[in-house]
Amino acid sequence: MAKASDHYFYVLLCADGTYYGGYTTDVARREQEHNDGIRCKYTKTRRPVKMIHFEKFATRSEATKAEAAFKKLSRVKKDRYLTENGGERDEKSEKL
């Protein structure tokens, strides 16, 4: 169970093969919210989504900085980041 003081940057793989990066204090709850279509326009039309990566940070600031940095990466660099940091990659992206 996540403590209120836990802060996470996470990455979802959407049904259309795109990635969604976000911030949360509860990874399991947030994945369920995305799959239920709650609080996120982007993933609402790209369900189901799968949590493929998350990192724990001491502060919200650190987690949201990691999220912002990830969102600025190209798709190729996002794939590399996930590979190097233990996340799953979308194999379809290698065919693009």
> What is the Cα–Cα distance from 7 to 18, expressed in whole angstroms?
23
> What is the pLDDT at residue 3?
59
> What is the pLDDT at residue 2?
55
> What is the pLDDT at residue 94?
43
Could you read off the pLDDT of 27-81 as tens digits, one per residue? 999 999 999 999 999 999 999 999 999 999 999 999 999 999 999 999 999 999 9
The answer to whether 42 and 62 are in contact (CB under 8 A) is no
Could you read off the pLDDT of 9-26 as tens digits, one per residue? 999 999 999 999 999 999
> What is the pLDDT at residue 91?
58
Q: How confident is the model at residue 93 (pLDDT cuts 50, 70, 90)?
A: very low
What kind and span of H or E run contains 81?
A: helix 75-84
